[in-house]
């Protein structure tokens, strides 16, 4: 475990103890409510991850190199951003995956666009997010995330 994960665990434990000391009744009520919310979403989350895993199984590395390593950076970046937007992969899998994209010939700008939209934009999770946060918020968050993902990718291209 890295130091950030340990730090988050430490902060979480401290805040949980503080909450328990302040009000055991409210803390346990909140824990029960969050357990119920997670339980109701678990089936949808597992289905989404399973579906995306199947899709990624059928994408050959040659296709990745052809699309992400092309000479047209704008086309590659937008393509990568769109694919990243509709893909759902945990961050601990996404970083090594993008590293392997770069090692098979992908340009850094499309790779970063894929990674940032992968972690920031949620087209696949849109129905779940809409249900929990509302349509207006979900559309605004996803649109802004997509725009900033492209800006981040282009910025990385300028830096590197």
Nearest alpha-carbon partner for 98 in 40, 152, 107: 107
HEC sequence for 47-97: HHHHHHHHHHHCCCHHHHHHHHCCCCHHHHHHHHHHHHHCCCCCHHHHHHH
Q: Is 23 helix (H, G, I), strand (E, B) or coil?
A: coil
Question: Is the four-CA dihedral 99, 101, 107, 109 of positive or negative sign?
Answer: negative
Task: Please give the model's pTM, rounded to 2 decimal places.
Answer: 0.61
pLDDT tens-digit readout, 12-46: 999 999 999 999 999 999 999 988 888 887 877 77
pLDDT tens-digit readout, 73-86: 888 898 889 989 98
Rounded Cα distance, 24 and 29, in Å: 8
| 60 CB-contact burial (10 Å; exposed 0-12 / middle 13-18 / buried 19+) | exposed
pLDDT tens-digit readout, 120-157: 998 888 999 999 999 999 999 999 999 999 999 999 88
């Amino acid at each position: 475990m890295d130091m950030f994960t340990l730090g988050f665990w430490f902060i979480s434990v401290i805040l949980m103890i503080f909450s328990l000391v302040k009000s055991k009744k409210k803390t346990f009520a909140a824990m029960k409510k969050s357990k119920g919310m997670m339980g109701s979403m678990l089936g949808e989350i597992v289905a989404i991850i399973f579906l995306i895993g199947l899709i990624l199984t059928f994408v050959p590395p040659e296709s990745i190199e052809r699309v992400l390593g092309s000479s047209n950076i704008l086309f590659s970046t937008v393509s990568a951003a769109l694919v990243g937007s509709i893909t759902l992969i945990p961050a601990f899998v996404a970083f090594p995956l993008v590293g392997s994209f770069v090692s098979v010939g992908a340009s850094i700008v499309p790779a970063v666009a894929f990674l940032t939209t992968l972690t920031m934009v949620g087209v696949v999770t849109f129905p779940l997010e809409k249900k929990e946060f509302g349509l207006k918020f979900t559309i605004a968050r996803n649109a802004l995330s997509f725009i900033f993902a492209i800006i981040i990718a282009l910025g990385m291209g300028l830096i590197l």
